[in-house]
Amino acid sequence: MTVCLTTAPRPGDGGRVSDGRTTVAKTNYSLVNKTTGETLELPSVQGTLGPTGLDVGRVYDTLDVFTYDPGFTSTCSCKSAITYIDGDAGVLLYRGYPVQQLAEKSSFIEVCYLILYGELPTKAQLEEFDTTIRKHTMINESLKGFYSGFHYDAHPMAMMTGIVGSLSAFYHDTTNIRDPKHRDIFARRMIAKIPTIAATAYKKYFGQPFMYPQNHLDYCSNLLYMMFAVPAEPYHVDPVAAKALDVLFILHADHEQNASTSTVRLAGSTGCNPYAAIAAGIAALWGPAHGGANEAVLRMLDQIGDAKKVASFLDKVKDKQSGVRLMGFGHRVYKNFDPRATIIREQCHKVLKHLGKENDPQMELALELERVALSDDYFKERKLYPNVDFYSGIIYKALGIPVNMFTPMFAIARTVGWCAHWTEMTADPANRIGRPRQVYTGAPERHYLPIAKRK
Ligand code: ACO
């Protein structure tokens, strides 16, 4: 059977219209079974920006075929009003606001409010939100026992996955996901506690005493305090370091339907405990193709070691047999500069200058790697540009954060995005369990053979 997709301009609307940022195709689409002539009109799902979605939900029922899109390159899994990306133009908007403006003018806590509730807060709203987040930073004392159960060299991401999952045991009976108030408590609690959970994993890794949060400190200062302070001496939070983290967190706060957010949505679509859904997101984020890339970039720079070896390293990257990738380069959606990478690059220079590390050899190596890759046809043809993770690791390292804490930093920042997506999905009465189909490639039906008869 052949099925073909046909398009026809909608009567009366003249084909394509421009809405200022994107050109929206106003076209009717239908699928035609060329053998039987059966036609299925595909209703279009129109957003405010970006390409039209084609509703293929009735394709199987009507034409008895599935749509096939491994990696979901052309598939929208949902409608969402949180974040918009135009990968060709290098645009990223949170609730309509360009990320550049937010990174320059806002704070992470304000951006959390914006992402969760859809609007920038008034002064009173921000104060109330900030106060609640500050008041809920402590974690249950019995969680200390959970940390003790981990092996001394457990990766902090492994600990975070476990500890966040265990929150479902603490708040199981008190979380009614159908109640908007409970959903809000969940989101605020998660955002408040995730820095404490990450910092405690850091302390466990180094065998240092856990430090309780100090609620007079702002979000990022508190995180730095919990990571770097020790009970034996006073600790002064460097405001430049706290500001740099704040900007990094704004840039990482949400990124629409990336792998970890889609994981949170898929897990959450079953109606499972939301803390367990966030734990699933943390697990997905850890992979080197996703949030684990910031750690992988630093390991790659260590491995290259010297700017003189950049050319031979890139030869290895271009050789598909080697299995080596240029970490921190390439993105599924951005086929132009990742706008976050541009801001992080600037931040990187600021932080290194402030810390007197302007001539940091790793920064010089990263710049050389970027320069050579961007002028190489392999990367140009495939539209591979530095992504958010190419420079973030260098800042983290300059701030004294060890390499295995880079991805936990990302997880802290992305928690608000995960919570907002979970909330948006759960509040939607049309939400259904996520259940993809497959093209089966296994053995056809056959009969069970007793073991004595098997060869
Ligand atoms: N180094 C070398 N080649 C690359 C790279 C890279 N980093 N990224 C993509 N390519 C090549 C692929 O080999 C492929 O080449 P081909 O057409 O000759 O087969 C082509 O570019 C397309 O790549 P895909 O893997 O199909 O792209 P996809 O969209 O599936 O993957 C991804 C995107 C996972 C981010 C990829 O670019 C990658 O592995 N990058 C390195 C890891 C990384 O930095 N991840 C962080 C992403 S940002 C984030 O999650 C926060």
CA angle 115, 117, 121 (to 5 degrees): 90
Residue 358, pLDDT score: 81
Residue 361, pLDDT score: 86
Kindly state if the Cβ of 414 falls inside 6 Å of ligand 1. no
Has 184 been annotated as catalytic? Answer: no
pLDDT at 4 over 80: no
Share of the chain above pLDDT 90, in %: 79
Kindly state if the Cβ of 318 falls inside 6 Å of ligand 1. no
Residue 27 binned pLDDT confidence (cut-offs 50, 70, 90) = low
Of the listed ranges 139-143, 168-172, 203-207, 386-390, the least confidently predicted one is 168-172
Kindly state if the Cβ of 330 falls inside 6 Å of ligand 1. yes
- Which residues touch 257 (CB under 8 Å, ≥6 apart)? 72, 76, 77, 78, 80, 265
Atom of ligand 1 nearest to the CA of 330: 37
Residue 362 binned pLDDT confidence (cut-offs 50, 70, 90) = confident
C-alpha separations of 295 from 310, 405, 410, 433 in Å: 19, 8, 11, 33
Kindly state if the Cβ of 317 falls inside 6 Å of ligand 1. yes
Q: Whose CA is nearest to atom 27 of ligand 1?
A: 332
Per-residue pLDDT of 222-251, as tens digits, reads 999 999 999 999 999 999 999 999 999 999
Residue 10, pLDDT score: 55
Alpha carbon 131 to its chain centroid, in Å, reads 26
Q: Which amino acid, one-letter code, is at 361?
A: P
Per-residue pLDDT of 365-375, as tens digits, reads 998 999 999 99
Of the listed ranges 71-85, 101-115, 357-371, the least confidently predicted one is 357-371
What would the mean pLDDT of 260-270 be, rounded to a whole number?
98
What would the mean pLDDT of 59-64 be, rounded to a whole number?
92
Query: Is the distance from CB of 396 to CB of 352 less than 8 angstroms?
Result: no
Among residues 389, 421, 428, 447, which one is catalytic?
Answer: 389
Residue 286, pLDDT score: 96
Has 421 been annotated as catalytic? Answer: no
Q: Whose CA is nearest to atom 14 of ligand 1?
A: 382
Residue 394, pLDDT score: 87
Kindly state if the Cβ of 182 falls inside 6 Å of ligand 1. no
Residue 15, pLDDT score: 42
Kindly state if the Cβ of 405 falls inside 6 Å of ligand 1. no
Residue 445, pLDDT score: 97
**Helical packing angle, 274-285 and 180-206, nearest 10°:** 50
Mutate to test the pocket of ligand 1, among 256, 334, 344, 384 (most ligand atoms within 8 A of CB): 384
Question: What is the residue-averaged pLDDT of the chain?
Answer: 92
What would the mean pLDDT of 200-210 be, rounded to a whole number?
94
User: How many A from CA of 395 to the centre of ligand 1?
Assistant: 23
Mutate to test the pocket of ligand 1, among 332, 333, 335, 377 (most ligand atoms within 8 A of CB): 332
Residue 440 binned pLDDT confidence (cut-offs 50, 70, 90) = very high
Among residues 218, 331, 338, 421, which one is catalytic?
Answer: 331
Q: Distance between CA 334 and CA 209 in Å, rounded?
A: 42
Per-residue pLDDT of 274-298, as tens digits, reads 999 999 999 999 999 999 899 899 9
Per-residue pLDDT of 392-412, as tens digits, reads 888 898 899 999 999 999 999
Residue 199, pLDDT score: 98
Per-residue pLDDT of 139-182, as tens digits, reads 999 999 999 999 988 999 999 999 999 999 988 777 899 999 99
User: How many A from CA of 382 to the centre of ligand 1?
Assistant: 9
Q: Distance between CA 277 and CA 286 in Å, rounded?
A: 15
Per-residue pLDDT of 303-340, as tens digits, reads 999 889 999 999 999 999 999 999 999 999 998 888 99
Q: Whose CA is nearest to atom 47 of ligand 1?
A: 290
Mutate to test the pocket of ligand 1, among 248, 313, 331 (most ligand atoms within 8 A of CB): 331
Kindly state if the Cβ of 291 falls inside 6 Å of ligand 1. yes
